[in-house]
Amino acid sequence: MDRRDVLADAAIAVLAEAGSRGLTHRAVDAAAGLAEGTSSYYFRTRSALLQACVERMAARTLEEMASGTPAVTSVDALVEACVAIVGRWVTKDQERLLARWELALESTRRPELETALRATGARIRERVADTLAGLGVAKPRQRADDLVACLDGLAFDQLAGAGRPPRDDAGLRASITDVVRGFTA
């Protein structure tokens, strides 16, 4: 793995564990198990470090979308893919999800970060739109934005929602089925 990727992964871990305020070059070096000063050599500024997090998360997500998901050729297959994605976000990829939320909040104060998040998010949503278009969904670009936002909301509700207790697997599947069927009807 490339040293930049190792550092970006460590920065993602720091964001998830310590929040945006905890993201320092020193914390990233420690999380990566590298000598102090390594991350500042590769990413001179904190802004560059944040940018690296955005790019690394997008690259990993796009890679997973290309290799880890079987072709979606039906609404039922789309439901299953969405259930798997949200399930993975709130379990195995919880760290990445928490870091993404930290970056999203940080982007409200940093226009350059907002631009980077929008650009990488657009690439992901474009893939979702292509899938929806392949299913014959009307307005696939708009529906892709809506679907991704709903899945993000469900994931947020599962991990940090202030309302009722998190849904069990059956409840999450039912909610995602309703969302997907609503967007593909």
In a domain, 21, yes or no: no
In a domain, 61, yes or no: yes
For the chain, the domain total comes to 1
Range of the domain at 162: 56-184
Task: Identify how many contiguous H helices and E strands the chain contains and give both numbers.
Answer: 9, 0
In a domain, 176, yes or no: yes
Residue position matching structure tokens 């739109």? 129
In a domain, 64, yes or no: yes
Report residue 8 as tokens.
């970006």
Identify the pLDDT of residue 1: 76
Identify the pLDDT of residue 148: 93
* Res. 163 pLDDT band, cuts 50 70 90: low
CATH for 151: 1.10.357.10
In a domain, 23, yes or no: no
In a domain, 111, yes or no: yes
In a domain, 36, yes or no: no
Is residue 112 within 8 A of residue 105, CB to CB? The reply is: no
Identify the pLDDT of residue 25: 97
Mean pLDDT score of the chain: 90
* Res. 70 pLDDT band, cuts 50 70 90: low
In a domain, 18, yes or no: no
pTM attached to this predicted model: 0.85
